Amino acid sequence: MRFFFLIAVAIATAGALQIDESAASQTRPSLPANDALSLRVLQAVKYADLTRIITLKMCKRRPQLVEQLSACSKIGAVPNVAIEKMVLPYFNRYVSPDDAKAALVFWSSANGAKISKNMLREIADDNPTLLTPDEKQLLTSLNQSDAGAARSRLARDRDVSQAVIRAIGAYVP
What is the per-residue pLDDT across 19-66, written as a single tens digit (0 to 9) for each?
A: 333 333 333 444 334 789 999 999 999 999 999 998 888 888 876 765
- Tell me which residue of 108, 110, 116, 100 sits closest to 148, measured CA to CA: 100
φ and ψ at residue 97, rounded to 5 degrees: -55, -40
**Residue 20 placed within a domain:** no
Q: Does 159 reside within a domain?
A: yes
CB neighbour class for 9 (10 Å; exposed up to 12, middle 13-18, buried from 19): buried
Number of domains in the chain: 1
pLDDT per residue as tens digits for the range 96-146 = 999 999 999 999 999 999 999 999 999 999 988 888 999 999 989 998 999
In a domain, 126, yes or no: yes
Range of the domain at 158: 5-15+31-170
Looking at the domain assignment, is residue 75 inside a domain?
yes
Residue 48 belongs to some domain of the structure: yes
pLDDT of residue 66: 59
Residues in the chain: 173
- Say if residues 53 and 124 touch (Cβ distance below 8 Å): yes
Instruction: Say if 84 falls within a structural domain.
Output: yes
DSSP characters over 55-94: HHHHHHH-HHHHHHHTHHHHGGGS-HHHHHHHHHHHHHHH
pLDDT at residue 68, as a whole number: 63
Provide the pLDDT for residue 161: 86
Is residue 135 domain-resident?
A: yes
Do 46 and 120 meet the contact criterion of CB atoms below 8 Å apart? yes
- pLDDT for 14 equals 41
CA–CA distances in Å: residue 12 to residues 7, 82, 108: 9, 19, 23
